[in-house]
Structure 1
Amino acid sequence: MSSIAQAASSLGTVTGGCHCGAVRFAVRGDFSSGISCNCSICQKRGHLLGFVPAANFELVAGEDNLADYLFNRHVIHHLFCRDCGIESFARAVGPDGNEMIAVNIRCLDDVDLSNVAVTPFDGRSR
C-alpha cells in the first residue's frame, strides 16, 4: 500500500480535488493528521483540515471554476467548485504572516481517513 493510501504520512506530493473533477490540485505535505474545526462552516461541511505553505500547493485545473466565499472576519478565502459545490481547499494568511493553504484532507485522492489522527479545534468560540 502506498504512503498516500496510508494517509499521506510523508512530505510527498499528493493530488486531490472537488467531487466533479473540475478543480484539481497537487500538494506537498504531511496529512497524517488533521484539524476538525467546529466553526459554523467547517462543522456543516465536515472539513478535515491540513495546512501547508502556499508554495507547496499547485492548482492544476479549475481556477476559473472556483467561487470565493468570505464570512466572519473575511480573512479565509473559502474556494468551492461552481459545479459540485465542494470546497477542497481555502487560502489565507497564517499567524506567521505567510500565505497558506488549508486542504480538506477528505478531498485528497486515495487517502485512508482511518489512518488520519484528528485533533479537535474550537473555532466556534473565536
Structure 2
Amino acid sequence: MTTLRTYPGACFCGAVRFEVDGDLSHGTMRCNCRFCRKMRYWEMRLPDPDGLRILSGAQAIAITPSQHPLGEGEAMQHAFCQSCGTRLWTKGNIAEMGGRVTLVFVPALEDVAIDELLAAPVHYANGAENDWWHAPADTAHL
C-alpha cells in the first residue's frame, strides 16, 4: 500500500523550490542508459503525475528534451536549474509506463532521513539494451 508523503525539494543553490507527493518506500529507479549514467539519475515515480508543485523559481527552470527513444509515443522533458545545474524532475508520456509520468530526482528532495533513503527499494533498468523492465548484469556503477 502506498502512503503518500509530501516531500520538499530544491536545487543546490535554492533558486528552485518545489514539493511532491510520493512514497520512497514504494520504490525508486536507476538506469544504465546513456542519459541516466551521465546524469547519475536516481528517480522516484510519483503515483499521480500532477503531484509536483513548483513553489518558487519557475523562471530558473530549464527544460531539455529526451535524447533517447523509449518507444512509440515517447515525449520526455528533463527539468534542471539553469543557475546551478541540479537535475530536478522528468515529465513524459510513455506508453510503456501507462501514459503520463512525473519522475523526481531523489537527490533533489530535502529533509529525507538517510535511513529512508537506504530503505527505498531500487529497480535497476537495462535501458542501454532497451530492456527497461529488467536489471542489467552489473549495477554497482549505477
Task: Give the TM-score normalised by the residue count of structure 2.
Answer: 0.74
Counterpart in the other structure of 1:18: 11
Pick aligned residue for 1:30 from 7, 20, 23:
23
What is the CA-CA distance between 1:94 and the residue it aligns to?
Answer: 3.7
What is the CA-CA distance between 1:120 and the residue it aligns to?
Answer: 0.5
What is the CA-CA distance between 1:55 and the residue it aligns to?
Answer: 1.9
Higher relative CO (CA 8 A, sep ≥ 6), structure 1 or 2?
1
Counterpart in the other structure of 2:61: 66
Give the number of equivalent residue pairs: 117
Give deviations 1:10-68, integer Å, cap 9, x for gaps. 31111112111111111111112210111111112211111112221111122211111
Counterpart in the other structure of 1:91: 91
Pick aligned residue for 2:119 from 95, 108, 115:
115
Q: Which runs of 4+ in 1 moved over 6 A?
A: none
**Which moved further from structure 2: 44-53 or 75-84?**
44-53
Which consecutive residues of structure 2, in runs of 5 or more, have no partner in the other structure? 131-142
- State the Cα RMSD in Å: 1.7
Q: Which has the higher helix share?
A: 2
Query: Is the Cα–Cα contact under 8 Å of residues 88 and 105 in structure 2 kept in the other structure?
Result: yes
CA distance in 2, matches of 1:41, 1:79: 13
Bigger Cα Rg: 2
CA distance in 1, matches of 2:94, 2:33: 17
Identity value in percent: 29
